[in-house]
Amino acid sequence: MATAKKYVYFFGKGRAEGRAEQKNLLGGKGANLHEMTTLKIPVPPGFTISTEACIEYVKRGRRFPPQLWAEIEADITKLERAMGKRFGDPKDPLLVSVRSGARISMPGMMDTVLNLGLNDKTIQGLVQRSQNPRFAYDSYRRLLQMFGDVVLGIKKIAFEGLLSEKKRQKGVTADTALSAEDLMDLVEQFKGVIRREAGREFPQDPKEQLRMAIAAVFESWNNKRAIEYRRIYKVPDNWGTAVNIQSMVFGNLGDNSGTGVAFTRDPSTGEKRLYGEFLLNAQGEDVVAGIRTPRPIVAMKKAWPQVYREFEQICRSLEHHYRDMMDIEFTIEDGKLYMLQCRIGKRTAHAAIKIAVDMAKERLIDQKIAVLRVEPWQLEQLLHPTIDPKAKVQKIAKGLSASPGAAVGKAVFTAEEAVEAAERHEKVILVRPETSPEDIAGMVAAQGILTARGGLTSHAAVVARGMGKACVVGCSDILVNEEEGYFEVANLTVRRGDLITIDGSTGNVILGEVALRQPEKLTGEFGTLISWADRFRKIGVRTNADTPRDAQVTRQFGGEGIGLCRTEHMFFEGDRVVAVREMILAKDADERRNALAKLLPMQKQDFKAIFELMDGLPVIIRTLDPPLHEFLPRKDEEIRKVAEGMGVSEKTLKDKVNSLQEFNPMLGHRGCRLGISYPEITEMQARAIFEAACELKKKGKRPFPEIMIPLVGHVKEFQIQRDIVKRVATEVMKAYGVKVRYLIGTMIELPRACIVADQIGAIADFFSFGTNDLTQTAFGFSRDDSGRFLPQYLDEGILQADPFAVLDEEGVGELMRIAIEKGRKAKPKLEIGLCGEHGGEPMSVDLCHRLGLDYVSCSPYRVPIAKLAAAHAVLKKQVKIKEMGEK
Ligand code: PEP
Ligand code: MG
């Protein structure tokens, strides 16, 4: 007999039906409530309705699955017994909170209803029990407000307007300054709003309230902002949310009560100290909503030393149990401490690294887990710009430093403006009084976020840290007028479009644009973590470096060689382009040789500098790749100037420019095709490389050139180019009387090359996948024009990711697999790497590891990301991490 599915799981009084590992079923929040209960941590009892129930509800066209309500009723009875109170009891009513809780935390994206169970009768019980009518009516008006908004879909402003009006009438600014009578009056007014706006009475039956609230939380899984959040963070739509029904504890019972949010370590720096905020006489939502600016957690030590000690103890045991930094929500009801939630805390990259390394040193975790604790893409934050300390700045305000890094942009005041500006490729700072989950798209579009209100755990702060965006919150110096698009600070007005700079590391707000600096060193815990990653990874990491300066950065970040030096970039420097143009305009090979002779010493000088910096490490230099017309002037004005400088007629130059135009230059006269048409170019480049290498070799250095031929599709193309390079190498080495170790290989960036990789592999020393071109040619998507249609492909889910950013495993990956197999069959020791933009993208690095590549090559600044991703690729399989919280 099939047993009916269980949907509801109880927790309370030291026993729980669920465990931390069950977050897929119970949601992150639910699973951890169950775990904390088992750990004997004070948690108000309650029950969790599983994510499966939510999915069923959605599937059944918004109807509860059979049995669900019966299970809920059974657990209400259990809860009543555990609390010694009854639902709807006019003397001492049981009140509950109803909260969403998905598998992963989606801060502020879904809905919550508090104080459920209050009605016109039970309110009297609450007045009696609390001996605090003000508190009781405040709780009731909050219920009406949340129920109206979340369950009945009435706009918040309908309630907030009345609240503000009441405060105005009374001449007070804080909600807490309203009296019991004021609140009682507001309760009646709020009921009127519900009657008017929803066309029904507020339900007086607590079970009906509960049923409706549960349905509303299920439905909030599909509200606009939750869908948007899932799209951004790639959370599947079919996960659903769990619902937690928990008996209420009150942080707003008077001055011996309060509520707060804390982290067991500093989520911004990673320092080992309790970090957080609390509000006296307030309910949980007041802290995260960022409406009132809370007090730092240490202030609690003074206010309630006993409670603080207990709190510290709980934090310690949670860290030991979960072996990670925890984010905790708590409430103190009349001097008694309760934990309302715990989860693995979100943190900046900086903190993630420090915490991982510190915890490994404290022996809470081992080095492998420490490496896995930091997501490769998070490192991007560390590679974020900071304000040049030497820059002169006009500081105009200071707020809380919520997420590090600096950002410059034009001030905008709404999420829509930010999104529109981003579409125009403009950089903006989103300035808001406070942010709400609706602002998410604007936060993604902006360079940084600045808010006037809210604390370090406010929505803006949490979301920005997750995105790694510079963010300053609680900047009470500024007065924001979002309608008219300006903010005021002291006697200064900053208007929409004015440039500002924010520093999320210091909280400073600066007028105008400030020069930003890239961090360039692998020091401290960052260096330690990457050195651990180095120990575990199998795949090498080289860089795409075109200049001696890039080579320097490569060494600083621990690159293991250069995987691609695009020589054409050298041609654009200074007045070299003049010689390049002479070469292009040459009438015949002799004239071309003359022009090339001018380029030779310049190229040689660059190569020498690069080889010297990379001493002992391989340097792949690619022969000329782009279509020649890229070097020629385009506009008439430019053509005239260049013609003058070169001593040719304007017409000659114009004719030449026109003759070089191609319909499809990306598939035109470029790559090795140039070297075949003009072998002198390949010859000059080979000469520059080997003369540079030989001169260094004579000085006792260890240059290791690898010469790479681009855009090869046929083995003969490679053969012709290889023979030129080989001949020149032999000549030059003979002339210098030294021997230099070198390799000659090819880019694999055309599907045909993949298919005939055995033929090419037989005569090439190495392959390097040019996945930019290979993606372009495999899909037939132009690299330059795919922006027109790719966004739609992503929106409609035709593609999961932009294939120019994340390597397409099924198609391009399969071509690579064929090439690797065939290439290595022909030459088992063939060195194979990748040098497209994908080399610094974690998922693509993982694929490269699985394909058995020897190395990836990426921008020098991405080396730590690639190294960490390469280590993850190995460790993910080895270590079955029993992450008890959410990941
Ligand atoms: C490639 O095609 O992936 C590559 C590295 O070469 P380029 O981007 O210069 O065409
Ligand atoms: Mg290419």
The percent of residues above 70 in pLDDT, for the chain, comes to 96
Which pLDDT score is estimated for 197?
Answer: 96
pLDDT at 749 over 90: yes
Find out whether the beta carbon of 564 lies less than 6 Å from any atom of ligand 1.
yes
| pLDDT tens column, 356-404 | 999 999 999 999 999 999 999 888 778 777 887 778 899 999 988 888 7
- Give CA–CA dist 673/678, Å, rounded: 8
Q: How far is the CA of 719 from the centre of ligand 2 (A)?
A: 19
pLDDT at 290 over 60: no
Which pLDDT score is estimated for 885?
Answer: 38
Mean pLDDT across the stretch 765-779? Answer: 96
Measured over all CA atoms, what is the biggest interatomic distance in the chain, rounded to whole angstroms?
A: 105
pLDDT at 883 over 80: no
- Give the ligand at the shortest distance from the Cα of 835: 1
Q: Given pLDDT bands bounded at 50, 70 and 90, which one contains residue 690?
A: very high
Length of the chain: 887
Tell me which of 471, 694, 835, 848 is the catalytic residue.
835
Q: Which structure tokens are listed for 678?
A: 């003009």
**AA identity, residue 387:** I
| pLDDT tens column, 527-542 | 999 999 999 999 999 9
Active site residue 459: yes
The percent of residues above 90 in pLDDT, for the chain, comes to 68
Find out whether the beta carbon of 835 lies less than 6 Å from any atom of ligand 1.
yes
Which pLDDT score is estimated for 288?
Answer: 57
Mean pLDDT across the stretch 746-763? Answer: 98
pLDDT at 755 over 90: yes
What residue ranges define each of the domains in the chain, with the CATH number in brackets? 8-249 (3.30.1490.20), 250-345 (3.30.470.20), 386-517 (3.50.30.10), 537-627+662-877 (3.20.20.60), 630-661 (no CATH)
- Give CA–CA dist 885/303, Å, rounded: 31
Taking CA atoms, 775 is separated from 110, 649, 808, in Å, by: 39, 41, 8
Find out whether the beta carbon of 566 lies less than 6 Å from any atom of ligand 1.
yes
- pTM assigned to the model: 0.79
Quickly tell me which residue has 């040098």 as its tokens.
835
- Give the ligand at the shortest distance from the Cα of 836: 1
Q: Given pLDDT bands bounded at 50, 70 and 90, which one contains residue 421?
A: very high
Pocket test for ligand 1, best of 564, 711, 773, 841 (most atoms within 8 A of CB): 773
Cβ atoms within 10 Å of 108's Cβ, excluding its own = 24
- Give CA–CA dist 818/516, Å, rounded: 45
Q: How far is the CA of 666 from the centre of ligand 2 (A)?
A: 9
Q: Is 309 annotated as a binding residue?
A: no
Tell me which of 459, 629, 838, 872 is the catalytic residue.
459
Q: How far is the CA of 632 from the centre of ligand 2 (A)?
A: 20
Q: Given pLDDT bands bounded at 50, 70 and 90, which one contains residue 880?
A: low
pLDDT at 252 over 50: yes
pLDDT at 166 over 70: yes
Q: How far is the CA of 760 from the centre of ligand 2 (A)?
A: 17
Cβ neighbors of 701 (< 8 A, separation 6 or more) are 611, 612, 615
Secondary structure string (H, E, C) spanning 117-157: CCCCCHHHHHHHHHCCHHHHHHHHHHHHHHHHHHHCCCCHH
Nearest C-alpha to atom 1 of ligand 1 is from which residue? 770
Q: Identify the weakest region by mean pLDDT among 376-385, 452-461, 524-533, 599-608.
A: 452-461
Find out whether the beta carbon of 684 lies less than 6 Å from any atom of ligand 1.
no
Which pLDDT score is estimated for 520?
Answer: 56
Mean pLDDT across the stretch 144-168? Answer: 93
Taking CA atoms, 487 is separated from 12, 433, 479, in Å, by: 49, 9, 5
- Give CA–CA dist 167/62, Å, rounded: 39
Q: Is 771 annotated as a binding residue?
A: yes
Shortest-distance atom of ligand 1 to CA 566: 9
Q: Is 772 annotated as a binding residue?
A: yes
Q: How far is the CA of 819 from the centre of ligand 2 (A)?
A: 16
Shortest-distance atom of ligand 1 to CA 776: 2
Sign of the torsion formed by the C-alpha atoms of 177, 180, 185 and 188: positive
Q: Identify the weakest region by mean pLDDT among 70-74, 469-473, 632-636.
A: 632-636
Q: Given pLDDT bands bounded at 50, 70 and 90, which one contains residue 616?
A: very high
Which pLDDT score is estimated for 484?
Answer: 93
Which pLDDT score is estimated for 379?
Answer: 87
Active site residue 54: no
Find out whether the beta carbon of 460 lies less than 6 Å from any atom of ligand 1.
no
Q: Given pLDDT bands bounded at 50, 70 and 90, which one contains residue 756?
A: very high
Q: How far is the CA of 874 from the centre of ligand 2 (A)?
A: 29
Shortest-distance atom of ligand 1 to CA 710: 6
Which of 546 and 362 is assigned the larger pLDDT? 362
Find out whether the beta carbon of 771 lies less than 6 Å from any atom of ligand 1.
yes
Q: If you average pLDDT over every residue of the chain, what do you get?
A: 91
Shortest-distance atom of ligand 1 to CA 770: 3
Which pLDDT score is estimated for 173?
Answer: 82
- Give CA–CA dist 23/884, Å, rounded: 9
Q: Each residue of 743-778: b (16+ CB within 10 Å) or e?
A: ebbbbbbbbebbebbbbbbebbbbbbbbbebbbbbb
pLDDT at 887 over 60: no
Nearest C-alpha to atom 6 of ligand 1 is from which residue? 770
Find out whether the beta carbon of 643 lies less than 6 Å from any atom of ligand 1.
no
Mean pLDDT across the stretch 142-147? Answer: 95
Q: How far is the CA of 836 from the centre of ligand 1 (A)?
A: 5
Secondary structure string (H, E, C) spanning 801-813: CCCCCCCCHHHHH
Q: How far is the CA of 602 from the centre of ligand 2 (A)?
A: 24
pLDDT at 693 over 60: yes
- Give the ligand at the shortest distance from the Cα of 812: 1
- Give the ligand at the shortest distance from the Cα of 771: 1
Q: Given pLDDT bands bounded at 50, 70 and 90, which one contains residue 289?
A: low
Q: Is 773 annotated as a binding residue?
A: yes
Taking CA atoms, 276 is separated from 233, 255, 368, 466, in Å, by: 26, 19, 29, 17
Which of 294 and 310 is assigned the larger pLDDT? 310
| pLDDT tens column, 862-873 | 899 999 999 999
Pocket test for ligand 1, best of 666, 670, 708, 747 (most atoms within 8 A of CB): 747
Nearest C-alpha to atom 8 of ligand 1 is from which residue? 772
Taking CA atoms, 398 is separated from 428, 436, 465, 495, in Å, by: 19, 21, 18, 18
Which pLDDT score is estimated for 303?
Answer: 87
Find out whether the beta carbon of 265 lies less than 6 Å from any atom of ligand 1.
no
**AA identity, residue 271:** E
pLDDT at 115 over 90: yes
Which pLDDT score is estimated for 3?
Answer: 62
- Give CA–CA dist 259/250, Å, rounded: 8
Give the burial class of 597: count Cβ atoms within 10 A of its Cβ; 0-12 exposed, 13-18 middle, 19 or more buried: middle
- Give CA–CA dist 350/602, Å, rounded: 41
Which pLDDT score is estimated for 71?
Answer: 97
Find out whether the beta carbon of 625 lies less than 6 Å from any atom of ligand 1.
yes
- CA torsion angle for 21, 27, 30, 35 (degrees, to 10)? 10
Give the burial class of 645: count Cβ atoms within 10 A of its Cβ; 0-12 exposed, 13-18 middle, 19 or more buried: exposed
If you ran DSSP here, which 8-state letter would residue 742 be given? -
Mean pLDDT across the stretch 9-35? Answer: 95
- Give CA–CA dist 200/531, Å, rounded: 64
* Winning range, highest mean pLDDT, from 227-241, 545-559, 616-630, 698-712: 698-712
Q: Is 566 annotated as a binding residue?
A: yes
If you ran DSSP here, which 8-state letter would residue 825 be given? H
Find out whether the beta carbon of 836 lies less than 6 Å from any atom of ligand 1.
yes
| pLDDT tens column, 319-361 | 999 999 999 999 999 999 999 999 999 888 889 999 999 999 9
Q: Given pLDDT bands bounded at 50, 70 and 90, which one contains residue 2?
A: low
Find out whether the beta carbon of 754 lies less than 6 Å from any atom of ligand 1.
no
Which pLDDT score is estimated for 109?
Answer: 67
| pLDDT tens column, 505-531 | 889 999 999 988 776 578 899 999 999
CB-CB contact of 503 with 470 (8 Å): yes
The strand pair at 394-398 and 508-511 is best described as antiparallel
Q: Given pLDDT bands bounded at 50, 70 and 90, which one contains residue 56?
A: very high
